[in-house]
Structure 1
């Protein structure tokens, strides 16, 4: 068994445990019937379709567009992936059909919160890119290159 396989297994174990815990909590706390299970399956299927059909192609396309960024490309890709995931998580709140009857259910302006977290992601990306460039420019180059 290679070290990569061992690391993957060690990462899979807590992930599967978390999935099992989530399923157990869902069943214990909600006592779902068959219609709830269908709705949950539809919702989870929609999440997979959004991820694989929208997020991944968008990130890959943007990755191609930033291919000239050289060594900063992984940093920019990480930022795009983070922004995409944050957007998918916030999407239900951003696209809610209207104000709820109970104003305490969705009490915030989620567009502002989403904008702030994306701005913070951009700020961290710029800072990491700047530090990375600065550190690489200070590194002495070997003679003859």
Structure 2
């Protein structure tokens, strides 16, 4: 093992120890355990079955690679935007989240869908214009 990897591992272990020290010191261990249990339950009861179901449906699509890629990107964007999208309304201080996040999220997902659709269309047109010789 190289010295750089060992050093990075030592820093990581040190940071985890510091996190545990902060967790125990603040007395919020119960809240963290509840959050972790809730996230595991949400993953196993909602996210995993949803991803498996969508994966089965996408398996029948002719351009499944492009569709899978678009779903991964849209899912990642949604996961990052979820805290802002689910922020409570109305806000006492509108300057905390001043932008139209819902609209912007829809625009980004729309661009992802549009790019995926354009890629599928270009591939389809190329196949029609240059059929394979058999």
For the aligned pair, the TM-score class normalised by the smaller chain equals 0.5 to 0.7
Separation in structure 1 between the aligned mates of residue 48 and residue 81 of structure 2, nearest angstrom: 17
The answer as to whether partners of 1:75 and 1:125 remain within 8 angstroms in 2 is yes
**Aligned match of 1:123:** 114
Q: Decide which of 26, 43, 46 is 1:34's aligned counterpart.
A: 26
- CA RMSD between the two structures: 3.4
Give the 3-state SS of the residue equivalent to 2:60 in structure 1.
helix
**Aligned match of 1:92:** 83
**For the structure 1 residues 84 and 56, does the alpha-carbon distance in structure 2 shift closer, same or farther, using more than 3 Å as the test?**
farther
Deviates further, 35-44 or 133-142: 35-44
**Deviations 1:55-88 (CA, angstroms, capped at 9, x unpaired):** 4432331232233322x01111221222222222
Displacement of 1:124 in angstroms is 1.0
- The structure showing larger relative contact order (alpha-carbon pairs under 8 Å, at least 6 residues apart) is 2
Count of equivalent residues: 122
| TM-score computed with the length of structure 2 as normaliser | 0.64
Structure 1's unaligned 5+ residue stretches are 1-12
Structure 2's unaligned 5+ residue stretches are none
**Aligned match of 1:78:** 69
Q: Which has the larger radius of gyration?
A: 2
